Chain A
């Protein structure tokens, strides 16, 4: 009985994995094919890998875009994790009616489609362009600022903090830790998996962010990966082999971040801390 269940689980997961991975595998195959084979939906590997890569690294010059995207994604992730976890912790551990109201208002900010606030936001960054060029139009600062502060992750950290054993906070205080000390010395290490999950998602969101970087960045040398890929598809005769190669390279960093972070998802870790 137990074995049948096991077999069923493996079969089910394998099916799900195949369905999930199939488009990715097709992408991998496509980077070895020439454009017209990609548009025909060819499923077999071809011989154009080197041509595609050469185009991508020489004429398209993907490296600066990779560097820009990495800088933006890393800074955004660090800032988001820090600010959102501080706030999520504050809202839950130091709960008060006033803070609950503020929290609910903050949630409102997730609800509007970004396209609706883009024009006022652009005007705002336009108006500071002269006084603070590092945060003005065409700066990486302007890409990061509005994306690094989101109610989404405050909400996420707060919900996870609800599962955080509050007596640990007291224990810390009794040990003479300051409020901030409790946060850094006790909360952060205990909530490692929550941070790992948040890191995966922020990194991915930032890495794939399209609309805002598109409107705020102007110089080609500041372009991020999604903007570069969008350009590749803009031609009347797009080279789908090169586009697929760019997409595969663009996918790897997020997949890598996920792979490194998911190792922290080990069952029952919290229980052992509490021991």
Chain B
């Protein structure tokens, strides 16, 4: 029987050894395992190599502070970052956590409130007034500024000027219009060209989010947690407008991101109302150069609504782990105060920040041939300042999942007040 033991121990041991040695070999590349632990290396997590990661690389080059540390930039998909952060922070293990992390604005309050001591306040580090106003409510909590506002999710209406022309319109005719006017134009465009005006994804209410923010409203009240659905006139108006679009039959139904991108790449739609970060995807189809323009977002037909909105956008956060001072120093001397860096970001990667002083620079004034020579960055940055600020609060995605069901009911004929009361009830039940 000794042989049995021996075999077993040997085999298991061998396997384990193999695992270790390979791990060892791989690890020798960097001190990453202790990443957050050592102050001579600070780690940063972000998503999108062409955008946020590239921005971090530029920041690393531009850093001119006194700190002597290495910045290690790690790319993870956004959903992956959310899972890793939640798992790490809720386990109470700071091991393996980064120093700097990018968090989407819609989710920021969840993280700040769910893990109270996990983030390092930047109140004394940066001046919130240097940044676009609308970013502040969502990046601060309990009177402390936690986030360093980064990219602008400022939205615009990308239009195909050639299709508009066929229907007898110019981009000018779509500038500063209401959604109702947009729908009327959409019908004419469809008549003239056979093309749909836009894409609609019944499972993604980004469209609704953009609409209600034009009037400074959100799914939750100002406290950030009480659902604000029943009796929310702005939301009701947005629902009505959405239904009008469906009834007017000007929307091409898509069911995911690749179909959304595919629709405008193949010229199936006459306009794309979305965040400015879509620009690279629009430009991907080089043959369409010169056929596009960007105009301000249509507004809801309501008193007080403006022609500026937001979709997505994110900000930098510093975790309360060893190396936080270094990380704060790095952020202050790059994204926190360096206007030139923002020029580089616009010029080299097309990333539009929310640091107000940067808008003065030349890079913002550049004329984009793809958009018929329009100064799109200047326009976007002008609109950024007009976005009504709202506190996105804790439950954007949870409520949206409930709203998606409500929207289905509404489109099928249920009365709107009833739908909104219904979703209000569900949201209150679920978000205890």
Contacts and interface: CB of A to CB of B under 8 A. Distances in A.
Q: Do chains A and B touch in the complex (CB under 8 A)?
A: yes
A86 B11 CA distance: 12
B256 to A, nearest CB: 10
A178 B284 contact: no
Interface stretch (A125-133, A201-209, A252-260): A125-133
Nearest to B30: A219
B417 interface: no
B7 A227 contact: no
Interface of B: 1, 3-4, 7-8, 11-12, 15-16, 18-20, 22-24, 26-27, 29-30, 32-33, 35, 47-51, 74-80, 83-84, 87-88, 90-93, 95-96, 257-259, 261-262, 265-266, 277-278, 280-281, 284-285
A138 B285 CA distance: 40
Contact of B87 (A78, A118, A138): A118
Contacts of B4: 178-180
Interface string A74-86: 0100110011001
A123 interface: yes
Given A36-B266, A218-B84, 4 more contacts: A41-B262, A134-B24, A178-B1, A215-B87
A140 B19 contact: yes
Contacts, number: 167
Contacts of A63: none
A237 interface: yes
A35 B1 contact: no
A236 B77 contact: no
Nearest to B50: A235
A86 B29 CA distance: 37
A136 B51 CA distance: 32
Give the 10 A-B residue pairs with the shortest CB-CB distance, closest first: A126-B93, A234-B77, A39-B262, A180-B4, A219-B32, A123-B91, A134-B20, A140-B23, A237-B281, A137-B96
Contacts of B278: 236-237
A139 B27 contact: yes
Given A218-B35, A231-B75, A236 B92 contact: no
B22 A71 contact: yes
Most A-side CB within 10 Å, residue of B35, B79, B96 = B96
A210 to B, nearest CB: 9
A219 B24 contact: no
